[in-house]
Every structure is written in structure tokens, then in C-alpha cells.
Structure 1
Amino acid sequence: MGVRDGRGRWRARGAGLFALIAGCEVLAGPFTPVAGQEYREVADPPTQVQGQAVVGAALIGVQTQIGAQFLYARAKAPFSGQVRVSLTTADGRLRGDGVFQGEAREGEWIELELKPRDGKRLRPNPLAPERVAVSVRYVENGSSVEHPMVAAWEVPSASTTAATLRLYVNSRRAPEMLVAVKGRPPEMCRRAPDKSTVRFDMLCELPLASVVGSKGKLTLVRRDGFEELEQPVVVGW
């Protein structure tokens, strides 16, 4: 049984994403674009010097090619404020940014329509999710602190029994990259399929269940010969 949301659509009550998130609402109330910061896409933007290793985090769905009009982000805690979205291709030649306003409860999924206000949609449709990194953060009203969120390109569903989290990583040209969760063997990352990898060059994937168990705390391991460099990261679960 479900309840209708503010847009007259049904929300499943007591359903969870991939049967791992039991008891959560699937969709939060509507999030609307912030005036002057509506979503837009730019081709060949200036290269930004950024230090973060994790460029994006998203759940892997069941399809290799998807429609790219809507994006979903999970609220790890109740909040009222802004959701900020950034997406980029591996070669850095496409960038999309937008800010949305609304409120959500813990565990709810927020639907965001990535419809450029100027009508200039540059990202491909259908979209191959492994070729586009998406970063979503939320900011509470009255605060400037950004908190990471996990995104999904497909509609959150209770019909799938397992899920995998994919991190889009800039390895700084490391020969090998691994991702580890405390108490589990590390997972080897793989190269992104694109020839040009300016923004990210590695895809690190691990079971969502292990991420939930670690409260989103992960460790990236950059391996170069016999040398290893560890970097702790936190994803917004």
C-alpha cells in the first residue's frame, strides 16, 4: 500500500531500495530548482584543479544504457535545504551543475529533473552510467557545509535483492587502485572505458551491504609497485 505525494503520484510505504533499505519512503516531496542556479550543461568548460579523489558515487542499476532525464539521491538524514548536483564525463568535456530546494526525511529518495533551463541538453541519451560521474551534496538551510549523498540513475525499487556502489575515482595515474571496507578483503578497481580520462580514470565497485555496515566509511588504496598510499573517504549513506 502507498500514499500519494505532493505531485499526485504513489509512493511506496515500507519499501526499500534493492530490499536492503526496508522501512524507508521511496520518494520525498518535490524538490524545485533554485532561481538563478537552475540545472545547466556546458561543453568544454575550463579545467578545474580539484584535489578530491572521489569525483562521484552512484548505485549500479540493472541497465547498461538508461534515460538521463531524472536523477535520484538518498537523504542519509532528515534535512531542509539545498541539494547540489554536479556531473562530468571522464574526459572533462561535459559538465552539468544545478541546485534544488526542498526537504526530506531520513532514507527518502529525492527525484531531481536534470532539464537544462536554456534547453541545451548536451549529455547523451541514452546514457552509459559508467561514463558519467555524478556528485550530489546537500546543505542545510542556514549552513554552508556540504554533505555527500549517494545517487542512482534508475528509479529506486524494492524488486532487486542486491546492489553495488560505484565510485568514480581520480587515481592520479596510479597503476592500481583498490577500495576497502574494514573487515572485508579489498576490491580491485578497474579502468574507466574512455581513452581520455581527465576527471576520473578508475571505477571502484563494492557491495552496498558492506557500505551500509561501515556507515559509509571506506578506504582507497593507491598502489604503485611495492608502495601503497591509503586515503579514507566517506560516502553519504
Structure 2
Amino acid sequence: MRAHLARVDAVIIQAVIAGALSFSHLHDLAEAAGQGGWKAWAYPISVDLLLVAAWRRMREAQRAGLPAGGPRLWFLVALAASLGANVATAGLLDLDDVPASLRVVVAGWPAVAFFGGTLLAHTPRTPKEPAAPETEPAPPSVPAEVEAPHRDALPSPSAVPVPEAPQSALVADPPPVPAVALPPALVDRVQALAEEHRAATGQPADADAVRARLGLPASMTPSVAAHL
């Protein structure tokens, strides 16, 4: 327990020291850029609050399974502002002669922070609930007024006989295929093959076998049979 408290205390102390240093650097940079008085103190509060708010929204969106691109963008903007102020006050920038471009950036920060905070405030925190699936209607139940003996006497749905359709209605005979007229040359060939088969076997030729020997499609079997 003491080790856990010591670890927490160390983290809090480190956060307080880092926050105080960053706060001071942002205040010095804002004051050097022409934002004196209470405005110089408001700049570090604005930057740090935007940083913390964007971080919280980003984590909430990730836990809820929502896209976190917007909060991540504003987190990087606030981080760049804080880190830039810390680096600028490390002796790399003459605070007595701040460039005009930096003055423009510092003066435009309130509008940027207000816009980012407004967007973060309207970031959804929970995913949209899916539409409830349509459920099938429940089967009708037996009224409560029906007593148990009468309820047992009611016929079950499975006991109700279902009339069967006549067999002729279920299986219909296929329509007959009309015979196609064959050309005279093909008729002579059919009859020649039939005579050859009768002379060899003594049996009449099968129309389907003759049709297969001629290489005709199966639909031509009635036409071949008409000339045997």
C-alpha cells in the first residue's frame, strides 16, 4: 500500500512540476508577443485545457469504438503549441524582439482554441444504438379464461388434417414434342439405316439408335420414328 502511494505521489509531483514549467513558458511567450496582463495568464490555461480535453475525448472515442481522428488532431495542435512555447523560450528566440509571424500566431490562438473546444464538446461519446431487429409475431395463445380441462380438449395445430393435392396436379405430363419434317435425303438415309439394321438383326430399328448414328439431337427422335 505504501509503495503504491509513493508511486502515485511521484507521478503527481512530476505532473505538477512539468505543468508549472510549461505554464510559465507559455505565459512568457504570450507576454513577449504583446499579450500583457491577465491575457498572458489565460494563454497557458487555454493551451493546457485543450490538451487535456482532446486527450480525454480521444480515449473515450477509442473505448466506445468510434473514430478518434478529430480529438487526435486537436491534441496534436495543443501539443505543438505547448511544445513550441517551451522550445522558443529556451534561448532560441529573443523575447525582446518577437517576430511578427509569431505575434500573429499568438493573437490567433483564442479563435483556434475556441473552435477546437466547440468541436470537442460536440464529439459523440457513445456509439449509436443499432435498430431493433423485427421480430416475428408470437403464435396466438389460449385465453386465460379457458380452464385446464377445456384447454386440453382444444386440437393442436399439428392435428388439423391438411388436404392433399391430387397427384395429377402435382406431377403434370410434359407436353409432347412435335415431330419436325426431315428433308428427303435425310429420310432416305433413315430408312436405309433401318433396313440395314433389320437385315442384320431381324429386329426393327430403334428410332433413338438411328438418330444417334445420324448425329441428330435428341429432340429429333420423334421425327426419325415417324419414318421408320
| Fold-level similarity (TM above 0.5) | no
Larger Rg computed on CA atoms: 2
Q: Considering Cα pairs closer than 8 Å and 6+ residues apart, tell me whether 1 or 2 has the greater RCO.
A: 1
Structure 1 or 2: larger strand share?
A: 1
Q: TM-score, normalised by structure 1?
A: 0.20
Structure 1 or 2: larger helix share?
A: 2
